[in-house]
Amino acid sequence: MKNNSVKIVVATGIGAALFVIIGWLINIPTPIPNTSIQLQYAVLALFSALFGPLAGFLIGFITFFQNMYKLSYFISELII
How sure is the predictor about 2, in pLDDT bands with cuts at 50, 70 and 90?
low
Q: What is the pLDDT of residues 42-63, one digit of tens each?
A: 999 999 999 999 999 999 999 8
Torsion of CA 16, 19, 22, 28, to 10 degrees: -170
Q: What is the pLDDT of residue 1?
A: 46
Q: What number of other Cβ atoms are within 10 A of residue 33's Cβ?
A: 6
Q: What is the pTM of this model?
A: 0.75
Maximum pairwise Cα distance, the chain: 54
